[in-house]
Structure 1
Amino acid sequence: MSSSNTALLVMDLQPAILGGIPEVPLTALLGRIKKAIQAAHHHKIPVIYVALSFRPGAPEVSSNNSFFNAARERFDNPHFGAIHPDVAPKLGDIVVYKKRFSAFTGSDLEVVLRGLNAKHLVMAGVSTSGVVLSTTREAADKDYQLTILTDGCHDADEEVHRVLTTKVLPKQAQMISIDDWCEGLA
């Protein structure tokens, strides 16, 4: 597997979003994602962190958007966009801030990817039914080659995660474990 023109997207790994995951599975998830990040660094693959973040008062949130409007008060926190310290960005990593589920919506991700000449996106993140699904759909429409690190994703609903990673997402992306992806880089 070639690493040229590849970027690793690490999405929505914010304590404010991860708070609903019990500690043991969260620690294991972050450990696996950290392994993918380290492999990307070792192989000089750009690591791009995508975080959900809003201005004070969350003026980007429309009252017409039932999901985001219901969470508006949670978003009005200057620390909401912080990345979990276990997988925090290193010098040279890129952080983009989005305004909706897709990593592309309200962010400069597409400009960054063009600047890096990235054609292949490798993705991990929380949640599978949120940022992973939405970003996959939009990235596929933009003609990126896609890989999803299946054990680098999590959803509060295990059945939704299973259906998405075994039936829906494989139609647009290669599905692979973090260990297999790391071994393929060697």
Structure 2
Amino acid sequence: MPDTQPHTHTALLVMDMQVEILSRYAHAKDFLTPMHDAISAARAALIPVIYVGVGFRPGYPEVSANNKGFGALKQRQMSGMTNMEIYPDIAPQPTDVVITKRRVSAFCGSDLDVVLRAQGITHLVLTGIATSGVVLSTLREAADKDFQLTVLSDCCFDNDEEVHRVLLSKVFPRQAEVIQASDWTEKL
């Protein structure tokens, strides 16, 4: 029997919304309201909400000195990156899935693909911080894995406003529908 609801194979990804990460972005909290609204609407529509955060074991055994970004983290031994605490205003519920990744993309070093395939998910709705980091890397990898993609533009943030604008207006539309959270929730 065919699906009667178009969103039955959809999941909302809430990426890198950890306390430690948000603390590095001065104006990031400005986008928490549309993020909260998107999460609430997804739950009401029975769309899985999947939280993805970056995390490492104590001592950072997953991090190579050759990795420019994470290698510096390892040298500083930042304890926050061993803590997966999601920002409290949008914290996961017991029914949500929480994934730990080891690199920038939500797929790299995680079991995200296994979780998505097990649930028959073919459409990903992307949100998170930073637009030029986890959102870009996950979008590219998800497109290569043949997922249908939507990016909620007001649920993404980057410290570089120009990079954020170019990604949302010129790069992402090549592989995803880019819309506001309110437009997405109206369709549910």
Give the structure-2-normalised TM-score.
0.93
Distance in 1 of aligned mates of 2:73 and 2:8: 39
**Could you tell me which amino acid in structure 2 is paired with residue 164 of structure 1?**
L
Residues 1:75 and 1:139: Cα distance change in structure 2 (over 3 Å): farther
Distance in 1 of aligned mates of 2:140 and 2:81: 30
1:109 to 2:112 alignment: yes
Instruction: Please list the CA deviations of residues 134-180 of structure 1 after superposition, one character each: whole Å capped at 9, or x if unmatched.
Output: 00000000000000000000001000000000111110110000010
Deviation at 1:21? Answer: 2.2
What does 1:38-49 correspond to in 2, within 5 Å? 38-49=40-51
Deviation at 1:74? Answer: 5.0
1:69 to 2:63 alignment: no
Q: What is the root-mean-square deviation of aligned Cα atoms in Å? A: 1.4
Which of 8, 12, 15 pairs up with 1:8?
A: 12
Give the structure-1-normalised TM-score.
0.94
Which of 159, 176, 179 pairs up with 2:179?
A: 176
What does 1:74-153 correspond to in 2, within 5 Å? 74-77=77-80, 80-153=83-156
User: Is the 2:28–2:157 contact (alpha carbons within 8 Å) kept by the matching residues of 1?
Assistant: no
**Could you tell me which amino acid in structure 1 is paired with residue 24 of structure 2?**
G
**Could you tell me which amino acid in structure 2 is paired with residue 64 of structure 1?**
N
**Could you tell me which amino acid in structure 2 is paired with residue 132 of structure 1?**
V
Query: After the TM superposition, which segments of 4 or more aligned residues of structure 1 sit over 4 Å from their partners?
Result: none
Distance in 2 of aligned mates of 1:50 and 1:78: 13
Deviation at 1:104? Answer: 0.2
User: Is the 1:11–1:49 contact (alpha carbons within 8 Å) kept by the matching residues of 2?
Assistant: yes
**Alignment partner of 2:187: what SS?**
helix
**Could you tell me which amino acid in structure 2 is paired with residue 173 of structure 1?**
A
Which of 150, 154, 158 pairs up with 1:155?
A: 158
Identical columns (%): 53
